[in-house]
Amino acid sequence: MRHPDAPAPGELLGAHYGLCFGCGGEQAHGLHLEARAGDGVCLTAEFTVRREHQGAPGLAHGGVLAAALDEALGSLNWLLRTIAVTGRLETDFVAPVAVGTTLHLAAEVVAVAGRKIYSTAVGRVDGPDGPVAVRADALFIEVKVDHFVDNGRPAEIRAAMDDPDQVRRARAFEVNP
Protein backbone atom coordinates (compact mmCIF):
# COMPACT_ATOMS: atom_id res chain seq x y z
CA MET A 1 0.00 0.00 0.00
CA ARG A 2 1.02 3.58 -0.61
CA HIS A 3 2.50 5.15 2.51
CA PRO A 4 0.18 7.80 4.00
CA ASP A 5 3.03 10.36 3.92
CA ALA A 6 4.04 9.58 0.31
CA PRO A 7 4.15 12.44 -2.20
CA ALA A 8 0.67 13.39 -3.44
CA PRO A 9 -0.57 12.24 -6.86
CA GLY A 10 0.81 14.55 -9.53
CA GLU A 11 3.74 15.68 -7.37
CA LEU A 12 7.17 15.69 -9.00
CA LEU A 13 9.37 13.27 -7.06
CA GLY A 14 12.64 15.01 -7.90
CA ALA A 15 16.13 13.57 -7.84
CA HIS A 16 17.16 11.43 -4.91
CA TYR A 17 20.80 12.38 -5.53
CA GLY A 18 22.16 15.10 -7.80
CA LEU A 19 24.76 12.85 -9.46
CA CYS A 20 22.43 9.90 -10.08
CA PHE A 21 22.70 8.82 -13.73
CA GLY A 22 18.95 8.26 -13.89
CA CYS A 23 17.42 11.29 -12.17
CA GLY A 24 20.23 13.63 -11.15
CA GLY A 25 20.36 17.09 -12.61
CA GLU A 26 24.12 17.36 -11.98
CA GLN A 27 24.89 14.37 -14.23
CA ALA A 28 25.80 15.90 -17.61
CA HIS A 29 25.10 12.79 -19.69
CA GLY A 30 22.44 11.32 -17.43
CA LEU A 31 18.83 10.63 -18.26
CA HIS A 32 17.42 13.53 -16.22
CA LEU A 33 14.34 11.36 -15.78
CA GLU A 34 11.43 13.17 -14.15
CA ALA A 35 8.91 11.07 -12.24
CA ARG A 36 5.50 12.10 -10.91
CA ALA A 37 3.53 10.27 -8.27
CA GLY A 38 0.34 8.65 -9.50
CA ASP A 39 -2.64 7.26 -7.65
CA GLY A 40 -1.96 4.18 -5.55
CA VAL A 41 1.60 2.90 -5.82
CA CYS A 42 2.29 3.99 -9.38
CA LEU A 43 4.03 6.81 -11.21
CA THR A 44 4.69 8.25 -14.61
CA ALA A 45 8.05 9.47 -15.87
CA GLU A 46 9.66 10.84 -18.99
CA PHE A 47 13.08 11.19 -20.49
CA THR A 48 14.23 12.29 -23.90
CA VAL A 49 16.82 10.16 -25.68
CA ARG A 50 19.75 12.41 -26.50
CA ARG A 51 22.68 11.93 -28.83
CA GLU A 52 24.92 10.73 -25.98
CA HIS A 53 22.42 7.92 -25.21
CA GLN A 54 22.75 6.14 -28.56
CA GLY A 55 24.11 2.69 -29.27
CA ALA A 56 23.49 2.04 -32.95
CA PRO A 57 23.57 5.21 -35.04
CA GLY A 58 20.46 7.26 -34.26
CA LEU A 59 19.01 4.72 -31.82
CA ALA A 60 18.96 4.54 -28.03
CA HIS A 61 21.39 2.08 -26.44
CA GLY A 62 19.50 -0.83 -24.87
CA GLY A 63 21.38 -0.38 -21.60
CA VAL A 64 20.23 3.24 -21.41
CA LEU A 65 16.63 2.14 -21.93
CA ALA A 66 17.07 -0.50 -19.20
CA ALA A 67 18.51 2.21 -16.93
CA ALA A 68 15.45 4.39 -17.55
CA LEU A 69 13.14 1.53 -16.64
CA ASP A 70 15.23 0.75 -13.54
CA GLU A 71 15.11 4.40 -12.45
CA ALA A 72 11.34 4.60 -12.88
CA LEU A 73 10.83 1.32 -11.04
CA GLY A 74 13.20 2.36 -8.26
CA SER A 75 11.37 5.66 -7.86
CA LEU A 76 8.28 3.72 -6.80
CA ASN A 77 10.00 3.15 -3.47
CA TRP A 78 9.43 6.84 -2.62
CA LEU A 79 5.72 6.01 -2.56
CA LEU A 80 6.32 3.18 -0.11
CA ARG A 81 8.77 5.32 1.88
CA THR A 82 11.30 2.54 1.93
CA ILE A 83 14.92 2.20 0.89
CA ALA A 84 15.38 -0.56 -1.68
CA VAL A 85 17.87 -1.66 -4.32
CA THR A 86 17.38 -3.52 -7.57
CA GLY A 87 17.64 -7.28 -7.08
CA ARG A 88 16.49 -8.30 -10.57
CA LEU A 89 15.49 -6.42 -13.69
CA GLU A 90 14.00 -8.30 -16.63
CA THR A 91 13.69 -6.11 -19.72
CA ASP A 92 11.92 -6.69 -23.03
CA PHE A 93 12.91 -4.51 -25.99
CA VAL A 94 9.84 -4.38 -28.21
CA ALA A 95 10.78 -1.67 -30.72
CA PRO A 96 13.76 0.61 -31.39
CA VAL A 97 13.73 4.08 -29.83
CA ALA A 98 15.20 6.87 -31.95
CA VAL A 99 17.40 9.69 -30.69
CA GLY A 100 15.19 12.70 -30.02
CA THR A 101 12.27 10.55 -28.85
CA THR A 102 10.66 11.19 -25.48
CA LEU A 103 10.05 7.89 -23.72
CA HIS A 104 6.90 7.92 -21.58
CA LEU A 105 7.16 5.49 -18.67
CA ALA A 106 4.45 4.14 -16.41
CA ALA A 107 5.44 2.02 -13.41
CA GLU A 108 3.59 0.37 -10.55
CA VAL A 109 4.20 -1.88 -7.58
CA VAL A 110 2.33 -5.14 -8.02
CA ALA A 111 3.21 -6.91 -4.74
CA VAL A 112 5.20 -6.64 -1.53
CA ALA A 113 6.31 -9.71 0.41
CA GLY A 114 8.55 -9.07 3.39
CA ARG A 115 11.63 -7.22 2.09
CA LYS A 116 10.75 -7.99 -1.55
CA ILE A 117 9.02 -5.41 -3.74
CA TYR A 118 7.73 -6.57 -7.13
CA SER A 119 7.02 -3.97 -9.80
CA THR A 120 6.40 -3.55 -13.50
CA ALA A 121 6.85 -0.76 -16.06
CA VAL A 122 6.25 0.05 -19.71
CA GLY A 123 7.90 2.67 -21.91
CA ARG A 124 5.93 4.14 -24.79
CA VAL A 125 6.82 6.38 -27.70
CA ASP A 126 4.61 8.96 -29.42
CA GLY A 127 2.91 9.93 -26.14
CA PRO A 128 1.75 8.17 -22.99
CA ASP A 129 -0.81 6.15 -24.97
CA GLY A 130 1.54 5.39 -27.87
CA PRO A 131 3.02 2.03 -28.83
CA VAL A 132 5.08 0.10 -26.28
CA ALA A 133 8.81 0.19 -27.03
CA VAL A 134 10.19 -1.35 -23.81
CA ARG A 135 8.86 -3.02 -20.70
CA ALA A 136 10.32 -4.48 -17.54
CA ASP A 137 9.53 -6.46 -14.44
CA ALA A 138 11.67 -5.97 -11.37
CA LEU A 139 12.36 -7.24 -7.89
CA PHE A 140 13.63 -4.68 -5.38
CA ILE A 141 15.03 -5.64 -1.99
CA GLU A 142 14.50 -3.40 1.02
CA VAL A 143 17.77 -2.39 2.69
CA LYS A 144 18.82 -0.10 5.53
CA VAL A 145 20.72 3.13 4.90
CA ASP A 146 23.85 1.34 6.18
CA HIS A 147 23.92 -0.50 2.83
CA PHE A 148 25.00 2.76 1.16
CA VAL A 149 27.20 3.96 4.00
CA ASP A 150 29.07 0.62 4.16
CA ASN A 151 29.43 0.18 0.40
CA GLY A 152 29.61 3.70 -1.04
CA ARG A 153 32.66 5.90 -1.45
CA PRO A 154 33.11 7.78 1.85
CA ALA A 155 33.76 11.21 0.30
CA GLU A 156 30.59 11.01 -1.79
CA ILE A 157 28.51 9.69 1.12
CA ARG A 158 29.74 12.64 3.23
CA ALA A 159 28.94 15.10 0.44
CA ALA A 160 25.42 13.72 0.12
CA MET A 161 24.92 13.78 3.89
CA ASP A 162 26.14 17.42 4.03
CA ASP A 163 23.95 18.58 1.13
CA PRO A 164 21.09 20.66 2.66
CA ASP A 165 18.67 19.47 -0.03
CA GLN A 166 19.49 15.82 0.74
CA VAL A 167 19.02 16.47 4.46
CA ARG A 168 15.62 18.06 3.76
CA ARG A 169 14.55 15.15 1.57
CA ALA A 170 15.78 12.58 4.11
CA ARG A 171 13.70 14.23 6.82
CA ALA A 172 10.67 14.56 4.57
CA PHE A 173 10.72 11.04 3.14
CA GLU A 174 13.08 9.23 5.55
CA VAL A 175 14.59 7.43 2.58
CA ASN A 176 18.03 8.31 1.25
CA PRO A 177 21.07 9.72 3.03
- In this prediction, residue 11 carries a pLDDT of 94
DSSP lists the bridge partners of residue 106 as 44, 122
Tens of pLDDT, residues 135-163: 999 999 998 766 556 666 666 666 666 66
Q: pLDDT at position 144, please?
A: 75
Q: How far apart are CA 36 and CA 107, in angstroms?
A: 10
> CATH classification of 34-143 is 3.30.310.80, yes or no?
no
Has residue 176 got a pLDDT over 60? no
Please give the C-alpha separations between residue 61 and each of 50, 54, 96, in angstroms, as whole numbers: 10, 5, 9
Q: Write down the pLDDT at residue 14.
A: 79
The residue ranges of every structural domain in the chain are 34-143
pLDDT digits (tens, 9 = 90+) for 54-92: 999 999 999 999 999 999 999 999 899 888 999 999 999
Contact 85, 150 (CB under 8 A): no
pLDDT for the residue numbered 15: 82
Q: Where are the beta strands (DSSP E) in 58-148?
A: 84-93, 102-113, 116-124, 132-142
Please give the pLDDT value at position 173: 39
Percent of the chain with pLDDT over 70: 81
* 3-class SS of residue 151: helix
Question: pTM of the full predicted structure?
Answer: 0.84
